[in-house]
Amino acid sequence: MVYDLFLGCVIPARLPYLEASSRKVFEKLGIELRDVEGFSCCPDPTGIEQLDHETWLALGARNLSLCNKNDGVISFCSGCVETLKGVNYFINKDSVVKKEVNQNLQKIGKSYDGDVNVNHFAQILYQNIEKIKENIVRSLEGFKVAVHYGCHYLRPSEIINWDDPFEPITIDEVIKSLGAESIDYDLKLECCGNPVEKADKELSLQIIN
């Protein structure tokens, strides 16, 4: 299996340890991640899209136009996955939108047909859960883990379209495959509060706390 790797902005700039550890995990599972020159910001589904949907589509489609059509593109960021899946959704839903996007891309000598398979890294882990079990060196038996799926991982469900938005199981199953216990709690499926900060910082902090 070979996937193009879309890192986005935040992980390489602020969370490099996530990238380093994820690369090691995928290498262990025999899944090749290929870096692509020219990727930019996804862009953020809670930022540019709210201000200018056409620009958001064009930027996202430009990124996807750079993919090498391996087994698809994979990202470690739920926001990036939502954007790239969203671009596919809107382009493939409406031929007029696809035409407009490609008219914008033509200005830089690019085009995009909406055919790149976009994947969340946890999705690929879930699909390879037996390989995970085979490669465990030290079981996490005895650990209790509180999974938080977050908004972008599950919603909008018609765009993400791979786990149940009301009763998700994928990350829980990956945790269990490592030997740990995935515990339930009341706020498991609630928004973390971060995107709200752009409009109401006090409310955002209340949600996070």
CATH value at residue 73:
1.20.1050.140
Of residues 163, 161, 157, 150, the one with CA closest to residue 189: 150
CA 204 to centroid of chain Cα atoms: 22
pLDDT single digits (tens) 1-46: 999 999 999 999 999 999 999 999 999 999 999 999 999 999 988 7
Please write the tens of the pLDDT for every residue from 112-171.
999 999 999 999 999 999 999 999 999 999 999 999 999 899 999 999 999 999 999 999
Q: Which helix (H) or strand (E) holds 87?
A: helix 78-93
- Sorting pLDDT into bands at 50, 70 and 90, what band is 199? confident
pTM for this prediction: 0.92
Cβ neighbors of 62 (< 8 A, separation 6 or more) are 40, 105, 108, 110, 112
Query: What is the C-alpha to C-alpha distance for residues 58 and 71, in angstroms, rounded to an integer?
Result: 23
Q: How many domains does the chain have?
A: 1
Residue range(s) defining the domain that contains residue 169: 2-208
What is the DSSP pairing of strand 73-75 with strand 181-182? unpaired
